Amino acid sequence: MIEDTGAVERTSITSVPAVAPNAASRESIFRSMYEAHVDFVWRNLRRLGVELGDVDDKTQEVFVIAHRRFVEFEDRGHGPRAWLFQIVIRVASDARRHKRRHPEDPDSGKLLERESIEPPQTQALARREALERLDRALGTLEVGRRAVLVLHEIEEMTAPEIAQSLGIPLNTVYSRLRVARAELEAALSRQEGASR
Amino acid sequence: MSDLSTSTRALLDAAKADGPSKLAKAKIWGGVAATTAAAAGGGAAAGSVAAFGSGKLLMFGALFGSAVTVGLAMALMHVGPMSPEITEPRADMQLATPRPVRDPAAPAQPIRAGGPQDDLTVEQDDAPVATPVGNANAGANAAPKAAPAVVVNPAQGAAASKAKAATAKAARTAAEKDDLLERESLLVSEARGALVRGDARAALSAVHAAQALDSHALDPEELSLEARALRAMGSTDAADAVESRLRTRYPDHALAR
């Protein structure tokens, strides 16, 4: 429901009216939510394995779905991030499945990635390479563990928030996080060893 | 829980700042707005036949308007940088001619038949004059009335350098202009989409955002949308004022009629 103005305020959407919204103000609230969370959605799609060449389209898809379901949105105490993340997980999963079935892009969007940082800027290049390494390592993790790790280490959500967002027991969050951290370290070490 | 190493922590910290560019965000929102507006049009269609007719008309208008906007944008993008390139060769042509450099204060040289062959070839681009130019020694035969078409204008050198500077400047700012024009186009599309789904306030907001940009290539469209949005919000006087401004600024524009 749209009456969850508290959630909206907690997530830095300050211009949300406190009254029950009509169609126009609902659009306004949705736009505010987009502005506040587009980075979150885009970033998590990337970390969950969506290629750079597809991530803008998939971000759009997430918000189109969110817009369609916006009237059903109920805040469970953590604002729209948890709700959006559930959509992100499904869209990312579909994208990965589609990629496995239709591997039509031979360079996996690498050309686009190179274009986005040209002319070469050392700092941007180093940052992009670091994120590529991270994404390759994250790609070796099972999706459930990866989601917990990303939400905790990158999005800085607490374990209870993650448990509620993903609908899993708190102890599962802790165990997944522990295993995911060890697996990430191991994957990065393997990458480092292979590059030597 | 096991702790992460410093290097892994650094990678995760770098990921925290990852996100789309401003332009990408605007593009994504444009896509979301267009898709949801289309869905809203579809919803209206399901409502009633009358709503279907108007929704279809509005959607068609939005699509047609988008096509016109994109066409205008493309035309402007092509026409914009062309003008310095057109002036530059003309200026170079003048400089490349082997005409003698003259004192600006000196009287113009006359036209004399039977001049040197190279001067004949030089004058081929001055076809309307159709007479060869005398060489520097022809000053003795100078007539009181000179032919203005063959006079070397010293200001042409300055014009050439100005044209070159303009070309360089145009090249520097081309990418910037393209970016601005794209953003303006997106905002105009967004405003149109908002009007289609009946959100006049969002449309007005998008129009104002477009008007705040440095690019004003789509100013007539923006004024027209602003007037429509104001009228939809019941501000008839303000809408009339905007329409009057549109007619004053662009009296020949199709939207001003």
Do B19 and A60 lie within an 8 Å CB cutoff? no
Angstrom CA distances, B46 to A26, A55, B38, B198, stand at 21, 33, 13, 16
Query: What confidence tens digit (pLDDT) does each residue in A15-33 have?
Result: 344 445 577 777 888 888 8
- Tell me the ipTM for this assembly: 0.71
Contact B16 A154 (CB under 8 A): yes
| Exposure string over B153-166, b if 16+ CB within 10 A, otherwise e | eeebeebbeebeeb
Distance, CA of A132 to CA of A137 (rounded, Å): 9
A37: confidence class by pLDDT, cuts 50, 70, 90: very high
Highest mean pLDDT of the ranges A166-170, B120-124, B140-144: A166-170
Q: Is the pLDDT score of B83 beyond 80? A: no
The confidence score (pLDDT) of residue A108 equals 52
Q: How distant is the Cα of A57 from the closest Cα of chain B, in angstroms?
A: 7
pTM given for the model: 0.46
Q: How far is CA B130 from CA A24, B37, B112, B144, in A?
A: 70, 64, 11, 20
In B, which residues are within 8 Å of A43 by CB distance? 15, 18-19
Residue B64, pLDDT above cutoff 60: yes
Task: Report, in angstroms and rounded to the nearest whole number, the Rg of chain A calculated over CA atoms.
Answer: 18
Chain B residues in contact with A64 by the CB 8 A cut-off are 31-32, 35-36
CA distance A97 to chain B (A): 23
Question: What is the C-alpha to C-alpha distance for residues A58 and A38, in angstroms, rounded to an integer?
Answer: 11
Whether A24 and B199 lie within 8 Å, measured CB to CB: yes
**H-only helix segments in chain B:** 6-16, 22-47, 49-96, 117-122, 155-196, 200-211, 219-232, 236-249
Helix (H, G, I), strand (E, B) or coil at B44: helix
Chain A residues interacting with chain B (CB cutoff of 8 angstroms): 23-24, 27-28, 31, 34, 38-39, 42-43, 46-47, 55-57, 59-60, 63-64, 67-68, 127, 130-131, 133-134, 153-154, 156, 174, 177-178, 181-182, 184-185, 188
Share of chain A above pLDDT 70, in %: 74
**pLDDT, tens digit, for every residue of B207-244?**
888 888 877 888 888 888 899 888 888 888 888 888 88
Q: Nearest to residue B149, comparing CAs of B177, B130, B169, B171?
A: B130
A153 vs B7, B12, B31: nearest CB: B12
Nearest by CB to residue B32, choosing from A67, A134, A188, is A67
Helices (DSSP H) in chain A: which residue ranges?
5-10, 23-47, 52-68, 80-101, 110-116, 122-138, 143-149, 159-166, 170-195
Torsion of CA A183, A184, A185, A187, to 10 degrees: 80
Inspect the interface and report whether the beta carbons of B32 and A182 lie closer than 8 Å: no
pLDDT at A88: 92
Say which residue, B83 or B131, is predicted with more confidence: B83
Are the C-beta atoms of residues B132 and B63 closer than 8 Å to each other?
no
Mean pLDDT of chain B: 67
CA nearest to B30 within chain A: A60
Compare CB distances from A56 to B15, B20, B201 and report the shortest one's residue: B20
Chain B residues in contact with A23 (beta carbon < 8 A)? 197-199
In this predicted model, what pLDDT tens digit does every residue of B165-201 receive, in sequence order?
776 676 666 667 677 788 888 888 888 888 888 888 8
Residue B133 has pLDDT above 80, yes or no: no
pLDDT score recorded for residue B143: 41
Does the beta-carbon distance from B8 to A185 stay under 8 Å?
yes
Quote the pLDDT of residue A141: 92
Are the beta carbons of B109 and B151 closer than 8 angstroms?
yes
pLDDT of residue A186: 93
Q: What percent of chain B has pLDDT over 70?
A: 47
Give the Cα-Cα-Cα angle B246, B248, B251 (nearest 5 degrees). 85
The reported pLDDT for the residue numbered B45 is: 45
Helices B49-96 and B22-47, packing angle to 10 deg: 150
User: Helix (H, G, I), strand (E, B), or coil: what is residue B91?
Assistant: helix
pLDDT of residue A63: 93
Residue B111 forms beta bridges with which residues? B133
Q: CB–CB of B4 and A153 under 8 A? A: yes
Angle at the Cα of B33 from the Cα atoms of B31 and B37, rounded to 5 degrees: 120
pLDDT digit string, tens, across residues A90-147: 999 888 887 777 666 555 555 555 445 454 567 777 788 888 889 999 999 998 999 9
Q: Could you please report the per-residue DSSP string of A19-47?
A: SPP-HHHHHHHHHHHHHHHHHHHHHHHHH
Closest CB to B20: pick one of A31, A38, A156: A38
pLDDT band at B93 (very low <50, low <70, confident <90, very high): very low
- What pLDDT is recorded for position A121? 64
- Tell whether the model's pLDDT for residue B5 goes beyond 80: yes
Asked if residue B110 lies in contact with residue B131, where contact means CB atoms within 8 angstroms, the answer is no
